[in-house]
């Protein structure tokens, strides 16, 4: 198990770090100002387009794509430190065209898209000209159990008809959003892994209505946001089905692996950012005649955070390494492990950074409450902790169960 980064990766790390320091972080305030003072909060701030142009010109673009043709050709281990760096700033992922859910959608289209789908939807996504969303989770059922899904995608002649209600469709509020990938039930009688379809739906398809944008801990996350979307007899050509009807589950499985790892890598970045703020505060703020760092249990809090983050990063790298070497299926336990560990460590460290800051920690002088919400939500997105822990337990017990069976 080798976590050493390739020379190519090391050069990217240096360049992304420098770009973050020189361009992204200094632009955060302006981005926020433009959002707040724009005609509408749901407009794209011009500074984002400028940053994207710079990143593209610098070759720091689509780094997430393992495919050499479209992306940087980096392994998961090599991409990990880049994702962690972009996790430190809320605006960074879009700057580098590496933001969810577009990353997952691009991966799906690269791997399963027809030539026509690639030309019409993948190409502009790769160029950052449009954005997209993913419509899977439903408000009325526990989406942790995929068999609960109620939305339907019924084939009628050369069309497919979509009905249902989805929510937490991230990115659907973005002014550049042009399409969603919708998942629905096509054939309830088929084998349980062949029942669902994934369908490309233009945002302006009749019957697709964004019912509302959902706040996250009170924040709408403009300009991309998270939508609740209804589909009422939405008709699109059968050619919009990705890889053909019935292959939705298979695609979803493949899609979630790298996506979960990217999320977790960014969560490590969230934790490191909070850790940095906590340490700076602990050293600069004084009470009872000493810096906070030397008061009571604060040293333990810092040490425990350091150890938790370092372990979470190593576990994430292990999952990445396994994805690279044995594939999603072989890395299933590790992917679920980091999905539990990384957001939870990030939440804990942000919470402690808030505490170290007192009142300053809960207002918006610092990004801590935003980082908190990001970490907290990640414990639910892409499957709640509970589902992942259950999978880890199942896989951990497997060899012992097999041994017991063998000895009978």
Residue ranges in 96-155 that form contacts with its own copies under rule CB under 8 A: 137, 139, 141-145, 148
Handedness of CA 198, 203, 205, 210 (dihedral sign): positive
Instruction: Read off the tokens for 24.
Output: 């992204």
Name which of residues 173 to 232 contact its own copies (CB under 8 A): 214-219
Q: 3-class DSSP state for residue 105?
A: helix
* Residue closer to its own copies (CB basis): 98 or 271: 271
- Least separation in angstroms between residue 130's CB and its own copies is 25
To which residue do tokens 């896989």 refer?
Answer: 395
Count of positions on this chain that bind its own copies (CB under 8 A)? 87
Distance from C-alpha of 313 to C-alpha of 311, rounded to nearest angstrom:
5
Q: Which of 123, 203, 209, 295 binds its own copies (CB under 8 A)?
A: 295
Taking CB under 8 A as the binding criterion, the range among 62-70, 85-93, 173-181, 311-319 that sits at the site for its own copies is 311-319
CA distances from 25 to 16, 89, 362 (A): 12, 7, 21
Q: Which is nearer to its own copies, 15 or 389 (CB)?
A: 389
User: Which position among 299, 327, 329, 330 is part of the footprint of its own copies (CB under 8 A)?
Assistant: 299
Task: Tell me whether residue 72 or residue 342 sits nearer to its own copies (CB atom).
Answer: 342
Which range of residues in 31-39, 65-73, 239-247, 309-317 is near its own copies by CB under 8 A? 309-317
Q: Nearest 5 degrees, angle CA 304-CA 307-CA 310?
A: 145
Q: Does 1 bind its own copies (CB under 8 A)?
A: yes
> Is the link from the previous residue into 101 a cis peptide, with omega within 30 of 0?
yes
User: How near is the Cβ of 148 to its own copies at its closest, in Å?
Assistant: 7
User: Could you say which residues in the range 254-283 bind its own copies, by CB under 8 A?
Assistant: 275-276, 279-280, 282-283
Min. distance of Cβ 172 from its own copies in angstroms? 14
- Applying CB under 8 A, the span of 101-109, 121-129, 249-257, 293-301 interacting with its own copies comes to 293-301
Out of 206, 232, 284, 329, name the contact with its own copies by CB under 8 A.
284
Residue closer to its own copies by CB (options 223, 245) is 223
Query: At residue 96, what are phi and psi to the nearest 5 degrees?
Result: -95, 10
CA distances from 236 to 143, 157, 232, 331 (A): 25, 11, 12, 36
Sites for its own copies among residues 228-257 (CB under 8 A):
none
Binding to its own copies (CB under 8 A) within 9-68 occurs at none
**Closer residue to its own copies (CB): 163 or 333:** 333
Element (H, E) at 228: strand 226-237
Residues in the chain: 408
For residue 54, give Cα distances in angstroms to 25, 27, 33, 48, 96. Answer: 14, 12, 20, 10, 9
Residues 336-375 that bind its own copies (CB under 8 A): 337, 340-341, 351, 354-355, 358-364, 369-370, 372-373
User: Cβ of residue 125: shortest distance to its own copies, in angstroms?
Assistant: 25
Q: Which CB sits closer to its own copies, 25 or 216? A: 216
**Segment holding 260, helix H or strand E:** helix 248-284
Q: Would the CA dihedral through 163, 168, 174, 179 be positive or negative?
A: negative
Task: Select from 94, 207, 183, 73 the least CA-distant residue to 134.
Answer: 183
The smaller minimum CB distance to its own copies, of residues 55 and 387, is found at 387
Sequence-ordered strand ranges (E) for 286-386:
286-287, 290-291
Q: Does 380 bind its own copies (CB under 8 A)?
A: yes
Least CB distance from residue 372 to its own copies, whole Å? 8
CA-based diameter of the chain, in Å?
Answer: 78
CB nearer to its own copies: pick between 76 and 97: 76
- β-pairing verdict for 131-135 and 177-185: parallel
Nearest approach, Cβ of residue 406 and its own copies (Å): 13
- 326 near its own copies (CB under 8 A): no
Cβ count near 314 (within 10 Å): 13
Query: 39 — phi, psi (to 5°)?
Result: -55, -40
Nearer Cβ to its own copies (43/280): 280
Please report how close the Cβ of residue 306 comes to its own copies at its closest, in angstroms. 4
Q: Are 196 and 186 in contact (CB under 8 A)?
A: yes
């Amino acid at each position: 198990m080798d976590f050493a980064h390739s020379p190519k990766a090391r050069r990217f790390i240096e360049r992304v770090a420098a770009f973050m320091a020189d361009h992204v972080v200094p632009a955060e305030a302006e981005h926020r100002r433009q959002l707040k003072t724009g005609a509408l909060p749901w407009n794209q701030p011009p500074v984002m387009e400028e940053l994207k142009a710079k990143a593209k010109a610098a070759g720091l673009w689509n780094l997430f794509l393992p495919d050499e043709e479209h992306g940087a050709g980096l392994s998961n281990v090599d991409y990990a430190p880049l994702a962690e760096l972009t996790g430190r700033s809320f605006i960074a992922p879009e700057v580098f065209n590496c933001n969810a859910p577009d990353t997952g959608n691009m991966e799906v289209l690269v791997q399963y898209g027809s030539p026509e789908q690639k030309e019409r939807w993948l190409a502009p996504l790769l160029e950052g000209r449009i954005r997209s969303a993913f419509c899977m989770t439903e408000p009325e059922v526990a989406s942790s159990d995929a068999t609960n899904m109620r939305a339907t995608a019924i084939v009628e002649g050369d069309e497919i008809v979509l009905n249902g209600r989805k929510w937490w469709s991230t990115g659907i509020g973005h002014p550049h959003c042009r399409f969603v990938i919708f998942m629905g039930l096509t054939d309830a009688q088929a084998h349980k892994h062949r029942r669902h379809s994934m369908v490309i739906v233009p945002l302006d398809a009749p019957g697709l209505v964004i019912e509302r944008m959902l706040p996250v801990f009170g924040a709408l996350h403009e300009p991309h946001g998270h939508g609740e979307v209804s589909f009422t007899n939405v008709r699109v050509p059968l050619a919009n089905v990705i890889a053909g009807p019935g292959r939705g589950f298979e695609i979803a499985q493949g899609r979630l692996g790298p996506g979960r790892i990217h999320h977790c890598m960014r969560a490590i970045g969230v934790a490191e950012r909070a850790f940095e703020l906590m340490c700076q505060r602990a050293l600069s703020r004084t009470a009872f005649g000493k810096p906070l760092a030397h008061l009571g249990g604060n040293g333990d809090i810092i040490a425990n955070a350091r150890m938790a983050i370092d372990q979470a990063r190593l576990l994430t790298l292990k999952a990445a390494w396994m994805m690279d070497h044995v594939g999603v299926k072989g890395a299933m336990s590790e992917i679920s492990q980091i999905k539990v560990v990384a957001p939870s460590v990030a939440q804990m460290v942000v919470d402690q950074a808030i505490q170290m800051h007192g009142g300053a920690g809960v207002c918006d002088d610092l990004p801590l409450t935003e980082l908190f919400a990001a970490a907290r939500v990640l414990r639910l997105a892409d499957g709640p902790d509970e589902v992942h822990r259950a999978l880890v337990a199942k896989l951990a017990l497997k060899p012992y169960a097999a041994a017991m069976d063998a000895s009978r």
